[in-house]
Amino acid sequence: MESQSQVLERLRTAFESGVTIPEKFRRTQLTNLMTMIKDNEEQIVNALHKDLTKPKFEAILSEVEIVMNELHCALGNLTSWMQPEYVSKNLATKLDECFVRKEPLGVVLIIGPWNYPMQLLIVPLIGAIAANCAVIKPSEVSAATDNLIMELIPKYLSKDCYAVVSGGAKETQALLTNRFDHIFYTSQAVARVVLQAAAVHLTPVTLELGGKCPCLIYGRVNATAAAHRLVWSKFFNAGQSCVAPDYVLCSKATCDALVPALRQVLEDFYGSDIQKSPDMSRIVTPKHWTRLMGLLNRTKGKVVVGGEHDEKDRYIAPTVVVDVAEDDALMEEEIFGPILPILTIESLEESIKLAKRKEKPLAFYVFSDESSVLENSSSGGFCSNDGIVHMTLPGLPFGGVNSGFGHYHGHWGFEAFSHRRAVMLRGWALERLNALRYPPYSDEKLSWLRWTTSPKSCSIM
């Protein structure tokens, strides 16, 4: 068994040999990754089912399809992403070649979480294959997927350039003492630890964290349509999504219309005995199950839908709680489970104020015909009249503000793992023009210089 330092040594040697730079190599790796997912779709679905009792539909949609989309995007655009970008010049540099070169960073570390163990590990990897070598650290909590990734990656990707390291907290801490050229971390628990370890080596970091994503429902809203989308985005993966609507803010009238709609939609989706439905996930570990039940037990709100649970099955029914106050137990931390608190706030302005009192969330949801919410709020991303889908488009950057920093998806992923190197190729001629800047200095030289370097001077040409 290779030690961590041996793995890193091997990767660094491979990177320094320059093997990851040619476009052909990157394309081959991305194509192999695509083959890996296509050939092993069934195993992936099974592993996810073992870890999270993830229904096949959810697994395909959120772990296979989304990865395939990103791969198509990368393969289709890699050539243009790799091209240098030429920039506009001023008079002093008119005859020079000025461009930005995209270069790899080196050996990067990608740490994945347990809630979407394939997507949140492989999509950053796609960006990293922008000519870097990568160490991938899947979450040990989603053990079956962890093992599957450990088995598959070396079979399809270059063994010298990409390595999978498994293990728990101790192994991760040991891994973090090494020097990487970029660290990509998705999760919540140890973000500060990761960042502090990165500070020691001045390593840049991308942090994809979470938060309490508010969902505001105001104005004239079709309760059934809203309920469909709300239920889908909330209870997908049993609420264990970083962009799931965490809590709902609406007026009493809306709440009264919404709750029966939610109840009906839940029955339409999962049937009358939800525990038996093959389309509902489970909580990932007994520890998280206990945490969620703790929140449910401590809440001062009223459970109007659901509430059933089964410890052996790690099952919690989709639950809706009303009459929740701002200081309730359910409002303390990110719920990350199938419990939906509804806070009744009469006015939209008050709701926005409440949401703003909390940390900036990863996503902000509004079901309304009101347009003011976007300008008066801040969040990683924003979606109106639906949930989660904004992060399925590779054209939109996915990332947080306070709930992390940095972005990825599509070309943003490529950029996250690249260094943009400014290059200016000057000629030998025009030395007379250059002489304006040499000592001995004079007022006249200065005024000429001001003119030639001004951004507007090109308009004269």
Partner 1 sequence: LSRQAVQRAREAFLSGRTRPLEFRLQQLHALQKMIAEKETEIATALKQDINRSQYDTPLLELIGIENEIKLAVEKLGEWAAPRPAEKNLLTISDEVYIQPEPLGVVLIVGAWNYPWGLTLMPLVGAIAAGNAAVVKPSELSECSSLLLRALLPRYLDKDLYPVVTGSVSETQELLRLRFDHIVFTGSSTVAKLVMEAAARHLTPVTLELGGKSPCYIDKNCNIRVACRRITWGKFINCGQTCIAPDYILCEPCIQGRVVECIRQTLLEFYGADPKCSPDYGRIINQRHFNRIMGLMEGYTPVVGGQSDSSQRYIAPTVLKDVPPHSRLMQEEIFGPVLPIVTVSDMDNAITFINEREKPLALYIFCSDKKAIKKMIAETTSGGVTVNDVMMHYTLNSLPFGGVGQSGMGRYHGKHTFDQLSHHRACMVRSLGMESVNLARYPPQNRQRARRARMALTSPLIDMSKRTLVWAILATIIGLGLLIALLVILLIAAGLNCTCWYWRGFYN
Any idea which residues carry the catalytic annotation?
Answer: 208, 242
Site for partner 1 in 183-222 (CB under 8 A): 191-192, 195-196, 198-200, 202, 204, 207, 209, 221-222
Site for partner 1 in 410-449 (CB under 8 A): 410, 419-428, 431, 434, 437-443, 445-446, 449
Is 22 a binding residue for partner 1 by CB under 8 A? The answer is no
Cα separation of 26 and 334, whole Å?
38
Distance of CA 209 to the CA centre of its chain: 8
Q: Rank residues 153 and 194 by Cβ distance to partner 1 and give the closer one.
A: 194
Nearest approach, Cβ of residue 222 and partner 1 (Å): 5
Cβ atoms of 298 and 211 within 8 Å: the answer is: no
For residues 342 to 361, the per-residue mask of contacts with partner 1, x marking binding by CB under 8 A and - elsewhere, is --------------------
Is 253 a binding residue for partner 1 by CB under 8 A? The answer is no
Sign of the alpha-carbon torsion through 427, 430, 434, 435: positive
Q: What is the dihedral of CA 45, 50, 56, 57, to 10 degrees?
A: -110
189 φ, ψ to 5°? Answer: -50, -55
Q: Contact region for partner 1 (CB under 8 A) — 89-97, 127-135, 249-257, 335-343?
A: 89-97
Number of residues that bind partner 1 (CB under 8 A): 112
Cα separation of 329 and 93, whole Å?
61
Nearest approach, Cβ of residue 159 and partner 1 (Å): 24
Comparing CA positions, the residue from 160, 161, 155 lying closest to residue 132 is 161
Distance of CA 48 to the CA centre of its chain: 19
Is 269 a binding residue for partner 1 by CB under 8 A? The answer is yes
Nearest approach, Cβ of residue 379 and partner 1 (Å): 7
**Strands 205-208 and 182-186: what pairing?**
parallel
Helix (H) or strand (E) holding 265: helix 252-270
Site for partner 1 in 44-73 (CB under 8 A): 55-57, 60-61, 65-66, 69, 72-73
Nearest approach, Cβ of residue 62 and partner 1 (Å): 10
Q: Contact region for partner 1 (CB under 8 A) — 35-43, 246-254, 275-283, 341-349?
A: 275-283
Which one of residues 390, 408, 413, 416 is an interface residue with partner 1 (CB under 8 A)? 390
Cβ atoms of 24 and 129 within 8 Å: the answer is: no
Cα separation of 103 and 282, whole Å?
42
Nearest approach, Cβ of residue 396 and partner 1 (Å): 4
